[in-house]
Structure 1
Amino acid sequence: MQVGIFQTQEAAADYAAAHIIDVVGGATDPVLGVATGSTPLKLYERLRAAHAAGTFTLAGKKAIALDEYVGIADDHPERYRNVLRTELVGEDKTGLTDELLFTPDSSAPDPQAAAARYDEQIRALGGATIQILGIGSDGHIAFNEPGGSLVSRTHVDVLTAQTRTDNARFFDGDLAKVPTESISQGLGTIMEAKEIILLAFGEGKARAVKELVEGAVSAKWPATVLQMHPKVTVLVDEAAASQLELADFYTERWNARH
């Protein structure tokens, strides 16, 4: 696990974008694993800018989403498929086409069956060439909440009160509007990505980042399973890194390699 500590979110997003552009551009038939929430928005801005400059494209390439709310209306602006369309789909954005954006079926009558189908679809695509991740304040990645299996496959999960409270800002601050369930790639599914890049910003993520990097692997902090992955890069700002005991060492190692 490499840890890059940056002065600002913008600097971290610059590095993430440049790395993703290199990985996607150098791969044969790449699959980009995409995340939602506020954390990757600056990264997506940079991918759009690179596409506009002619140095990056997702045209003809595939993207797979981490998760989706269960039962959310197809036209709801916070449906994750719609969020990803807004950020990435179209020749005026990254060149990604709607038919090559793969997301869980949020309106399926049987969400469990939809989750199983999505897991099979990801496997058929060969998994993510590089997976973008954020991290929740309670250590969840995708919607793998604390206490779940560390080897889970794509599944339906109940969202914790903390996650729903954190996400209420996307629903006019109204907790009652936040869905209670999701279809999420499992931790076992995520771990099959060839490479993972995780971003975390702000003091509210500091405890989760500390556990992710320096804590024991535990279902209490689901993201800690990433310690077992052979190729993970964690990009944080100084606020998110504020509880890391070995921050100086991570910076020395990062500077030596970059």
Structure 2
Amino acid sequence: MKIIIEKDFEAMSETAKNILLGCMSQDKRINLSITAGNTPVGVYKSMIEIVKDSPNYTNVHYYNFDEIPVTDQAEGITITDLRKLYFTPANINEANIHPLTVENYAQQDRRLAMDGGLDAMLIGLGGDGHFCGNMPTTTSFENLTYKVKVSGEEPWFVPDMMEKGLEFVTMGPVSVMRVKHLILIVNGKKKAEMVKNVLQGPVTEEYPASVLQLHPNFTVILDEEAASKLDR
């Protein structure tokens, strides 16, 4: 595990951008999985300026690692957010976007293997210790890509759109551990305690992201606030 501590959100985002672009610049097909949400906004803003309409990155193929379906909406929350944050403003070719859905999740691991595996994955950290859609109480460290049904009694935060009975899909710990380079970005003081738990505490399903300590090529990029409780 390599931990990089940057001064602030902007510096953290710049470092993550440079690592991703380094991977994307290789002279071969690159399979990349990236996160939605607020944490990577700065990363994508900088990447768009470089990637948009550039012939140098047509080799990059994108895969979402989880998905929450929405009734009467053609695509789920994750891919919709990724389109808004990055795919559309970067003018990514539709042929290079490979959505994970509740319909095709059972084929996800085989599909990735046939495509050469994921070269890199950019993920965030939930305040409850989850990563991707691997939530406390629903995650087994033995899971490949799997489906989770919301019971309505989860002890973890459930967004408003995730009504009781809704099913979402996510790449499980086994699937994520197969990624060649795993990159975790976290910012802000409110996640400092969880950063310490998952990076320096025991590996436990209570904090699913703690299993990432075992990944052979794991880069963690933090701002100073998120790193403030780590034992240096």
TM-score (norm 1): 0.80
- Confirm or deny: 8 A CA contact 2:69 2:77 kept in the other structure: no
Cα distance, 1:163 vs. partner?
A: 2.8
1:190-205 paired onto structure 2 within 5 Å: 190-205=176-191
- Pick aligned residue for 2:77 from 72, 76, 79: 79
- Confirm or deny: 8 A CA contact 2:125 2:131 kept in the other structure: yes
| 3-state SS of paired residue (1:156) | strand
The equivalent residue for 1:233 is: 219
The equivalent residue for 2:209 is: 223
- Confirm or deny: 8 A CA contact 1:200 1:236 kept in the other structure: yes
Stretches of structure 1 that go unaligned for 5 or more consecutive residues are 109-113, 169-174, 247-258
Q: Which residue identity does 1:191 align to in structure 2?
A: M
The CA deviation string for residues 93-145 of structure 1, in whole angstroms up to 9 with x for no partner, is 33422232122224x4xxxxx32122322222222111101010111110101
- The 1:48–1:185 alpha-carbon spacing in structure 2 relative to 1, beyond 3 Å, is same
| 3-state SS of paired residue (1:163) | coil
Are 2:85 and 1:94 equivalent residues in the alignment?
no
Are 2:126 and 1:136 equivalent residues in the alignment?
yes
Structure having the higher helix fraction is 1
**Number of equivalences:** 226
Are 2:182 and 1:162 equivalent residues in the alignment?
no
- Confirm or deny: 8 A CA contact 1:75 1:82 kept in the other structure: no
Cα distance, 1:87 vs. partner?
A: 2.3
The equivalent residue for 1:62 is: 61
Cα distance, 1:181 vs. partner?
A: 3.3
The equivalent residue for 1:111 is: none
The equivalent residue for 1:254 is: none
TM-score (norm 2): 0.88
- Confirm or deny: 8 A CA contact 2:52 2:91 kept in the other structure: no
Cα distance, 1:60 vs. partner?
A: 4.1
Stretches of structure 2 that go unaligned for 5 or more consecutive residues are none
Percent sequence identity is: 24
Deviation beyond 4 Å, 4+ runs, structure 1? none
- Pick aligned residue for 1:188 from 169, 174, 177: 174
